[in-house]
Structure formats: C-alpha cells, structure tokens
Amino acid sequence: MASIPADFMDTEAPPTPRPPNRIWTFAEGRAFFELGALYASMPMLSSTLPKGDGHSVITLPGFMATNNSTVPMRRLLGQLGYDALGWDSGRNVRVNEVLIGRLERQLKEANDESGRKVSLVGWSLGGVLARELAKLHPDRVRFVISLGSPITDDRNHTNAARLFKFFNGDEPEKIRGGRFTGLDVAPPVPTTSILTKTDGVVHWRGSVQCPKKTSSNHPTENIQVYASHCGLGVNPSVMIALADRLAQPEDDWMPFEAHPRHAWMFPKLSLG
C-alpha cells in the first residue's frame, strides 16, 4: 500500500539502471501457480470484491503477448460488472503508427459508444502504451493502471531490451516522431503502477512512478505486490488492487489502502 516513496523526494541520483537479477528471471515459471491461484479464488473474488459501475476497461497485453494473456483478468472484471475489452491489435510486438492509430480508434469507439471515459490496464509494454495513449487523449481516459511496466526512457531496466530492439530498432517509429519520449512522465489522469520486487523481466525500479514526473496535478501512486512479472496479470493480489482502483468514483480518487485482511499482500514499498 505504497503510494509515493519518500525516497523519491530527495535530490540524490537514482541507482544505475540494470536488468533484474537472473534468479528472478529463472523463477518466472511460478506464474503458472499464480494463474492456478487466480482460477481457484475466482468465485470468492467475484463475490467479495467491490463491484464496478459498468464503464469500459481496455486491457493491453505485454511485449510479445496477445489478448489470450488477459483473458483471466477480463473474465474477473466482467464478473465484477465492467465492460472488459481486449485490444484490437493482435500480438504486441511493433510500436509504430499503425499500432497507435488502432489504439486511438479503439479508445474513441469505446468512449463514444458508452458516453463515458475509459480505464486502461496495461501489462508490461502494454502499460507503457496505456500511459502514452492517455497523454494523447486525456479527455477520453478515466484511469490508467500499469503492471510491471518499464515506465522510463532507459531500456537498461529490462532484460527484454535486445529483443525489443530486434523488432523495433534503436528508436521505434513513434519515438522517431518525437512522441514516445519522457516515458517516466505520468499522463494527466490518475495513474497507478503495480510492481513487484521479484520481477524477472523489468527491474522494479523502472516501474516506480516519481511524483516529480507528473504532467499535471493528477495523482500517481505505486503499489507493491508479491508476484512474478509473467504472473502480474493473473495474480490474485493484483486483481484485488485492480478492483479497488477501478471501483473508485471518477472524480473522487483516493490513495490505495488495503483492507486489513489483505494487508499482508501489499508490502510497503522501500527503495532500499
């Protein structure tokens, strides 16, 4: 239940960016157990978590993933009363004009059809795209939640940097166009970053939002959980945090505070 780490308010330079420890990378297979735990707890979660107000939630998968990866998340969100949508862009590989155009059209259609702002939930690279999409269309976005996303311009925080470069080059098309820079600057909507210190793909420091890097006075927060990177989109504790955040009234945002019975799932975030 960490909102803004106090350490980020000082003037000391942050540690040199680096990928996660290989121990956590080799341990990413535990995501299968997180998926099993989600399906086992789905009936309880769908009946005890706060219900949604029916607004649309678009889920964006991580790098190299497709809509299949967000099916369990969308199933639970649907049971909680949201219009849970996958994205219309196939496998998340290339960051280019075509992809951004598709995302903009999907956001516009969801917003126009419902007449209500849309929440965006992005996993890893999907979270980066969600934040940048909200910067382009803040009038259509209600809330952004990123899961283990490398929200920094320095790719040294992730061990997927070489693979991303293979498909996108040194600078993806949108970066060359001067738009996808300043990834650490939050969009002008309420924004939550959910992260884990045992992330085996993106170093957790690369997912921490700094309060000095906001594009407006809109709130940002960080929530730490116990999870793997590949399990963030199916981890029961993440689903608890998602349900809590999405159920907030649109104009009455409050920092995350775990229910006492769930407090053990959300350790206080320390930058040490």
Is residue 159 in some structural domain? Answer: yes
Q: What is the residue range of 85's domain?
A: 6-265
43 occurs within a structural domain? yes
Locus of tokens 């190299």 = 64
Q: Write out pLDDT tens, residues 20-63.
A: 888 999 999 999 999 999 999 999 999 999 999 999 999 999 99
**CB-based contacts of 47, cutoff 8 Å, min separation 6:** none
The pLDDT of residue 213 is 54
At residue 31, what are phi and psi to the nearest 5 degrees? -60, -30
Is 272 within a domain?
no
Determine, yes or no, domain membership for 270: no
State the DSSP string of 105-140. HHHHHHHHHHSS-EEEEEETHHHHHHHHHHHH-TTT
Q: Specify whether the CB–CB gap between 130 and 189 falls below 8 A.
A: no
User: What's the CATH number where 245 sits?
Assistant: 3.40.50.1820
Residues 6+ apart with CB under 8 A from 214: 185, 186, 220
Q: Tell me if residue 165 falls in helix, strand or coil.
A: helix
pLDDT band at 180 (very low <50, low <70, confident <90, very high): confident
Domain assignment present for 46: yes
- Say whether pLDDT at 3 is over 90: no
Residue 29 lies in a domain: yes
pLDDT at 214: 57
Sheet strand arrangement including 83-85? 83-85, 56-60, 118-123, 141-147, 191-195, 220-224
Amino acid in the structure at residue 167 = F
Number of domains comprising the chain = 1
